[in-house]
Structure 1
Amino acid sequence: MTPRILSLSALLLVSACATTPRPAAPVASTPAPALPARGLEGVLGRDARALTALFGDPDQDVREPGARKLQFAGAACVLDAYLYTPANGREAVVKWVDARTPKGDDFDRASCVAALSRRSEAR
């Protein structure tokens, strides 16, 4: 074999060993799951007066600059309603609600709203 053929053979052999980088698999950005608002429409976007009319007096009222938490507790669940003052300075409204059992386990938010609404109707 001639040196030229040996060089060419060696080059082909080395290039066969080289790996070509695989393109990275596209990473699909998974948006945060949207929480269903069904059953919450009577709470989200409402002010403190509307919540008091719906549930009665809050069991807890925590105020901070620009934010407020109203807590309503019943036998089945505890509902925390977080009210935030919009940039235009208008009345603070509910932007988020959280629900749990009295022991602290997760509880369906819409079911808690329904249970607490029935509680206020019984009064």
Structure 2
Amino acid sequence: MPRSLPLLLAAAVTATACAPRAVDAPAPAGQPVRVQSYSVAGLESVIGRTARVVEGQFGRPELDLREGAARKLQFAGPACVLDVYFYPPRGGGEPIATHVDARLPDGGDFDRASCVAALGHKAR
């Protein structure tokens, strides 16, 4: 095996890693862009509520992260993990929950409304 072969292979791998990747083309002009929307059915007790209200519903969060005016509270139970994201309203004021994510404790998908219901039962 020539001594330069490992160097050539390393160079080829590096060049491949740096090569530009294909990117989805934008939708043609005049065609509507599909935006994925999420149902808030079953999330009424969380979306639009303050952190104080959500903590009253689920108890003390496992995680409380702040970045600027944004805040994320994470609640966990045996059935699921719930992340609630809070942002200040446009006109100012106390941040409110605007988005919710849910997953199984192992990271798999879990229905958000079912997680809210499961964690709400835990707090009672």
After superposition, residues 62-101 of structure 1 pair within 5 angstroms as 62-101=65-104
Q: Which residue pairs with 1:5 in the alignment?
A: none
Q: Which residue pairs with 2:52 in the alignment?
A: 49
Letter in 1 for 2:79: A
| Runs of 4+ off more than 4 Å | 25-28
Work out the percentage of aligned pairs sharing the same amino acid. 51
Q: TM-score, normalised by structure 1?
A: 0.73
Q: Is 1:34 aligned to 2:34, yes or no?
A: no
Q: Which residue pairs with 1:115 in the alignment?
A: 118
Q: Which residue pairs with 1:4 in the alignment?
A: none
SS at match of 2:92: coil
Q: Which residue pairs with 1:22 in the alignment?
A: none
Matched length? 97
Q: Deviations over 1:86-112 (max 9, x none)?
A: 233300000100000110111100000
Moved more, 29-38 or 109-118: 29-38
Ranges in structure 1 where 5+ consecutive residues have no aligned partner:
1-24
SS at match of 2:108: coil
Q: Deviations over 1:2-49 (max 9, x none)?
A: xxxxxxxxxxxxxxxxxxxxxxx9974352232111100110010001
Q: Distance in 2 between matches of 1:67 and 1:27?
A: 35
SS at match of 1:90: coil
Q: Distance in 2 between matches of 1:45 and 1:105?
A: 26
Larger Rg: 1
Ranges in structure 2 where 5+ consecutive residues have no aligned partner:
1-27
